[in-house]
């Protein structure tokens, strides 16, 4: 799954426009203009398409957390994690949408897949942990699909 796909999917899930996407990214103290966001939202075959950078996606995900949960001015902004992997996207979505393990399992089952809590927890582990597991595109795609109202 490309970062552009994730951005388009979350835009659809949140039912927001390009202006709101720019505002969400700016919540994470990163400046981006509407024209650039518009080029990220285009399909690959469309003229003006541009690949979403890991930096923009990382700031969007952090901004999404602030947008959904509020920003605590007393806490410092955490450093961005690059490159943005499916596991990082999954972690940030869990925080932004305040999802518990049972919520994620239910969203995935809604799309016809099954995942155990142990398998799910492997996605949230550190990459150096022996039980770490990479989050696949299909799992992330189905989670995003499950989040869509």
**What are the pLDDT digits (tens) for 13-45?**
999 999 999 999 999 999 999 999 999 999 999
Provide the mean pLDDT of the chain.
95
The tokens describing 129, both together, are: 């942990």
Query: What is the average per-residue pLDDT within 92-97?
Result: 97
* pLDDT confidence band for 114 (50 / 70 / 90): very high
Answer yes or no: are the C-beta atoms of 32 and 40 closer than 8 Å.
Answer: no
Taking alpha carbons only, the member of 57, 60, 59, 40 closest to residue 48 is 40
* Pairwise CA distance, residues 51 & 131, whole Å: 32
Taking alpha carbons only, the member of 109, 93, 67, 121 closest to residue 1 is 93
The tokens describing 59, both together, are: 């700031």
Tell which wins on pLDDT, 149 or 7. Answer: 7
CB contact set of 139 (below 8 Å; sequence gap of 6+):
86, 90, 108, 113, 115, 123
* Per-residue model confidence as pLDDT tens digits over 61-83: 999 999 999 988 888 878 899 99
CB contact set of 132 (below 8 Å; sequence gap of 6+):
122, 125, 126
* DSSP summary character for residue 148: -
């Amino acid at each position: 799954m490309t970062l552009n796909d994730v951005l388009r999917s979350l835009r659809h899930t949140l039912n927001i426009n390009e202006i709101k996407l720019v505002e969400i990214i700016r919540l994470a103290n990163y400046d981006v203009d509407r024209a650039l966001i518009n080029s990220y939202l285009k399909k690959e075959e469309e003229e003006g398409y541009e690949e979403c950078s890991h930096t923009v996606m990382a700031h969007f995900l952090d901004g999404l957390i602030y947008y959904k949960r509020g920003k605590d001015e007393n806490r410092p902004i955490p450093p961005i994690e690059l490159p943005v992997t499916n596991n990082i996207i999954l972690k940030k979505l869990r925080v932004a949408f305040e999802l518990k393990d049972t919520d994620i399992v239910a969203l995935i089952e809604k799309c016809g897949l099954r995942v155990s809590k142990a398998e799910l927890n492997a996605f949230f582990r550190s990459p150096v942990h022996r039980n770490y597991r990479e989050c696949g595109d299909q799992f992330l795609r189905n989670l995003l699909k499950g989040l869509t109202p």
